[in-house]
């Protein structure tokens, strides 16, 4: 693996960093308090090519690679985690399954508007009784010939209340388990489609999370993504790709917490000298910097392998497991360095501490990552 950034890597990093530092970071606390995303900024991210980084240019994307994507994701997340979630949804959870399993017509219909930020997409897999055990979902789609009649409820749909289109995983064979699930493209304007309240969450407060209900929703058969009853494979392949994205998002948030703590430690004086002069503070800074560096290397390695067309199930899980747990640890140490100030809303560390915690949960918990890694390790022996 070449550790030298390419011209494209440097270009997307500069674009994402400038936008993040000028447009997102100064308002991150505002977004957290208001609980709302800025649609103008989302459109601007689209204009900058950040919402379709690895989407081919023919579908409105930037035509770059996955390494460019994780580099950009780190920068955006360092500014605002909630707006970074839009980048993740558009690229990893919406564009990725369409690019790999959708028809040519579906790609041309949905991707350009998603990449531009004109439309927003969402991904819906979880239900009340099927979170980690995704294969047990019960939301049912009955085949009516030219359409499917969908009934049921989905939970934890990120950006569900503002999404125009949703990739929804439904059961199409009640007796087939994982082999009876199908992916459907659902328009939020379909009759019978209802969005529940925004969930009150610990973090990611500007990014709405919703319950979605289907009451005899008619979805055209042409909206099936991939093959009927093969949707579980699409869901798992999408999440596997998305794990690297979540890892990069956690890395960006943790890096920002570290930067704040580093600066504070040099400015804050106790007992006549800056905090950074004390060995205990230095130890924390050293641990934080090491965790960030290791996480970045793991993320970039997984993205690099993916760009080479190699199998990355283990590497993606390792990157997500290590980066998200490292990020939680870094945010914790940053708060310790800032002390009481770190616990107040005036400083970003308090928000980052709340936001970063969920990265160990969504798109596969840390426990699931350990199972996947162990399974892959044992398979190779």
Two structure tokens written together for 279: 């060995």
Question: What is the helix (H) or strand (E) element at residue 46, kind and residue range?
Answer: helix 39-47
Tell me how crowded residue 361 is: count the other CB atoms within 10 A of its CB.
16
DSSP string of 303-324, one letter each residue: HHHHHTT---HHHHHHHHHHHH
CA–CA distances in Å: residue 30 to residues 205, 250, 365: 11, 20, 29
Which pairing describes strands 209-220 and 147-158: parallel, antiparallel, or unpaired? antiparallel
Output the DSSP codes for 329-371.
HHHHHHHHHHGGGGGSTTSHHHHHHHHHGGGGTTTS-HHHHHH
124's tokens: 């819906």
81 CB contacts (<8 Å, ≥6 apart)? 28, 203, 204, 207, 249, 252, 253, 352, 355, 356
Residues 6 or more apart whose CB falls under 8 angstroms from that of 311 comprise 305
Strand partners, 140: 151, 171
- To the query of whether residue 363 is one of the catalytic residues in this protein, the response is yes
The catalytically annotated residue of 363, 367, 376, 377 is: 363
Residue 218 has a CB neighbour count (10 Å cut-off) of 14
- Catalytically active residues are 363
């Amino acid at each position: 693996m070449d550790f030298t950034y390419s011209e494209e890597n440097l270009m997307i990093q500069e674009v994402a960093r400038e936008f993040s530092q000028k447009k997102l970071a100064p308002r991150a606390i505002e977004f957290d308090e208001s609980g709302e995303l800025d649609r103008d900024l989302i459109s601007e991210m689209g204009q900058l090519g950040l919402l379709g980084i690895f989407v081919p240019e023919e579908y409105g994307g930037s035509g770059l690679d996955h390494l460019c994507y994780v580099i950009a994701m780190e920068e955006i997340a360092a500014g605002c985690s909630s707006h970074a979630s839009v980048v993740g949804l558009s690229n990893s959870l919406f564009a990725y399954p369409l690019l790999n399993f959708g028809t040519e017509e579906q790609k041309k219909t949905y991707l350009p508007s998603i990449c531009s930020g004109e439309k927003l997409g969402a991904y819906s897999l979880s239900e009340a009784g099927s979170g980690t055990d995704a294969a047990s979902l019960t939301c049912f789609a009955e085949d009516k010939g030219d359409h499917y009649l969908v009934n049921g409820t989905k939970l934890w749909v990120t950006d569900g209340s503002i999404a125009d289109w949703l990739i929804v995983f439904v059961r199409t064979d009640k007796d087939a388990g994982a082999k009876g699930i199908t992916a459907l493209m659902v328009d939020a304007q379909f009759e019978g489609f209802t969005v529940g309240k925004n969930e009150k969450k610990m973090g990611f407060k500007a990014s709405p999370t919703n319950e979605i209900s289907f009451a005899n929703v008619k979805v055209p058969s042409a909206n099936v993504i991939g093959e009927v009853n093969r949707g579980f494979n699409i869901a798992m392949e999408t999440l596997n790709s998305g794990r690297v994205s979540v890892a990069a998002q956690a890395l960006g948030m943790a890096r920002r917490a570290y930067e704040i703590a580093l600066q504070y430690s040099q400015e804050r004086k106790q007992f006549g000298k800056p905090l950074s002069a004390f060995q205990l503070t230095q130890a924390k800074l050293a641990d934080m910097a090491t965790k960030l560096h290791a996480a970045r290397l793991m993320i970039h390695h997984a993205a690099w392998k993916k760009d080479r067309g190699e199998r990355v199930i283990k590497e993606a899980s390792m990157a997500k497991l290590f980066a998200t747990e490292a990020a939680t640890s870094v945010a914790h140490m940053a708060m310790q360095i800032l002390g009481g100030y770190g616990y107040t809303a005036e400083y970003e560390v308090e928000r980052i501490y709340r936001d970063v915690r969920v990265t160990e949960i969504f798109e596969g918990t840390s426990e699931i990552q350990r199972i996947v890694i162990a399974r892959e390790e044992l398979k190779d022996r």
